[in-house]
């Protein structure tokens, strides 16, 4: 029993010394990291805007002059859609089944690139309120401990301490809300790009299935 009480007293002493201030600094640091990731992802998605005219021209070129000519239209084009289209066109000579496998692999590879660092925003959005709540609990423990040691201040001391402790919960919510909003927006952007990539890949596959000879120049160029 003494060991249990000793552990409890040590934990109480640790909580009283730490207080809730370090939780606020932790939330501040996490919020700065989250803002950095948001700005990085915004800039990334701006740069990865799909070149719709070039994609449409590549599909039209595939129908007219074959895979190699279509592939030339997408040289250095950025976006998930362009990367998936290049993967399909560059392996058009391997057959439709191979192109379908290349499409699936390219989409997964690009999805991983698009989702980079988004897990941090999702995790922060889900857990920042709990971190703030933990800071509030620490502050309340300290407030009641101060009341026990100085009963003259009474209710006023407890209420002031609790009010200060509740700031941690408020900051936790303030950090969580933008992180959740950004995570949802960026996730929708990834899903939109993946859906558009599926569409362009199906257009290429449809043309290759309708006329396998369109892939002949790509196969000859690879050989």
Distance CA 94, CA 90 (A): 9
What is the pLDDT averaged over residues 41-61?
A: 92
Tokens of residue 44, six digits: 């990334």
End-to-end alpha carbon distance in the chain: 80
pLDDT at residue 111, rounded to an integer: 94
Distance CA 223, CA 220 (A): 5
Residue from 189, 205, 200, 195 nearest 73 by CA: 200
Measure CA 48 to chain center.
Answer: 15
Spatial CB neighbours of 218, under 8 Å, sequence gap ≥ 6 = 66, 67, 68, 71, 89, 90, 91, 92, 93
pLDDT at residue 160, rounded to an integer: 66
- Window from 30-44, 55-69, 156-170, 200-214 with minimum mean pLDDT: 156-170
Tokens of residue 209, six digits: 């299935």
Spatial CB neighbours of 154, under 8 Å, sequence gap ≥ 6 = 147
**Could you report the per-residue pLDDT of 62-111, keeping only the tens digit for each?**
888 888 889 999 988 899 999 999 999 998 888 888 899 999 999 999 99
Q: Hey, where are the domains in the chain?
A: 18-222
State the sign of the Cα–Cα–Cα–Cα dihedral 46, 48, 53, 54: positive
pLDDT at residue 221, rounded to an integer: 47
Q: Are 162 and 217 in contact (CB under 8 A)?
A: no
**Could you report the per-residue pLDDT of 119-172, keeping only the tens digit for each?**
999 999 999 999 998 888 877 777 776 666 665 555 666 676 677 778 888 999
Q: Are 64 and 180 in contact (CB under 8 A)?
A: no
Q: Are 75 and 56 in contact (CB under 8 A)?
A: no
pLDDT at residue 149, rounded to an integer: 61
pLDDT at residue 25, rounded to an integer: 87
Q: How large is the C-alpha radius of gyration of the chain?
A: 29
Question: Using 50, 70 and 90 to split pLDDT, how confident is the model at 15?
Answer: low
Q: Are 138 and 165 in contact (CB under 8 A)?
A: yes
Tokens of residue 58, six digits: 């590549």
């Amino acid at each position: 029993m003494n060991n249990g009480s000793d552990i409890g007293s040590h934990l109480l002493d640790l909580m009283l010394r730490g207080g809730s201030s370090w939780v606020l600094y932790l939330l501040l640091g996490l919020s700065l990291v989250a803002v950095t990731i948001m700005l990085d992802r915004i800039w990334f998605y701006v740069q990865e805007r799909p070149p719709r005219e070039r994609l449409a021209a590549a599909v039209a070129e595939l129908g007219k002059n074959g895979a190699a000519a279509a592939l030339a239209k997408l040289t250095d084009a950025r976006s998930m859609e362009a990367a998936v289209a290049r993967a399909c066109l560059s392996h058009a000579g391997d057959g439709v089944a191979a192109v379908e496998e290349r499409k699936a692999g390219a989409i997964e590879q690009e999805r991983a690139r698009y989702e980079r660092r988004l897990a941090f925003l999702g995790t922060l959005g889900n857990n920042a309120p709990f971190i703030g709540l933990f800071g509030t609990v620490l502050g309340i423990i300290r407030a009641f401990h101060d009341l026990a040691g100085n009963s003259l201040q009474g209710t006023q001391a407890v209420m002031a301490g609790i009010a200060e402790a509740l700031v941690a919960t408020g900051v936790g919510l303030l950090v969580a809300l933008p992180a959740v909003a950004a995570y949802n927006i960026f996730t929708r952007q990834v899903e939109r790009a993946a859906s558009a990539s599926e569409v362009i890949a199906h257009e290429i596959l449809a043309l290759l299935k309708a006329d396998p000879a369109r892939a002949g120049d790509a196969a000859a160029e690879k050989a």
